[in-house]
Structure 1
Amino acid sequence: MKVIGMAGWSGSGKTTLVEKLIPHFTARGLRVSVIKHAHHGFDLDRPGKDSYRHREAGAVQVLMLSNERWVLMHELRGAPEPTLEEQLRLLAPCDLVLIEGYKEAAVPKIEIHRPSLGKPPLWPENPHVVAVASDADIDCPLPRLPLNEPAAVAAFILEYPDVQ
């Protein structure tokens, strides 16, 4: 299983890039999974639904399934957030895992950098950044990828030798 991250400041386009990359990989027959780290709380459930009521009643895990998909919700209930390594072990077998977020994780990552956001680049301080995808011409010693050309970014990922 190959693992590569997408890191950047909020609003840089990480989600959009991941969304555009997935079809390039699946068209090649690769099974792709995504881990997205959220710095804020989130809830996939809605008040009043059975699964919400089960979690509110104290269930640690609720597995919902249908003939189209399944989801396992796990309440931490004060336990520490699982490490990235623990999360990777939870995934079904696949060819490629795209990780969104986890700026500091020790996995090779592509920085999504938009100078127009006014935020500093991550690559000077982050040794795990292996390339920078940007919508502007930037001065950077790492490989520079055209942010608005997902096929070029996908090709870099497929050719990168150190993707785990």
Structure 2
Amino acid sequence: MRVPSLILHEAVSRLGRAGLAGVLVALLSVLLALAGVLPQWQAVRALQASEADAQVQVQRVQRGELKVAAKPEHQALDSLRQQLPGQPQASELIERLYHLANAERISLARGEYALGIDPKTQLARYQIILPVRGSYPQIRGFLQALLGQLPTLVLEDLELQRKRIGDSELNGRLRMTLYLSRS
């Protein structure tokens, strides 16, 4: 069914400018409603569907038809504590740290050691600050070996400096934390 253009032209001329503006505003509002409201309406419908599905799953759990295997946080923390080395092994781990430094021919000056307890997890924290001296490749190799062999060690800060531009030897400071279980 085709509307002749003459009939359409007469209808538009009868409306006048104000009527034509009204028709355009009405068309624009319909387009805006379709572009803005329709996606939101579809999103609400999807949320309602997922809410209904979640309610069905909750009812199945309450009736015992569905088992939920949730691992509480304290069980996960206990599992972590079992995997960590114990606090009595701290001196052995520090000794391993010095052996790794000797293997890379790095000199470690006397460091600072502080044992503390993490208030959130109740894990033992051995905070270590070590002055270090060696070339960049030596220090980098030492850090890679250290983090590879002591997975519970966290490198928190590394400061390196040279006295002169031409020096190949660096002076630095390592700040690390060794996490241990309290058993």
Please, what TM-score do these two structures have when normalized by structure 2?
0.21
Task: Answer with 1 or 2: which has the greater Rg.
Answer: 2
User: Normalized per residue, which structure has more helix?
Assistant: 2
Using the size of structure 1 for normalisation, the TM-score is: 0.22
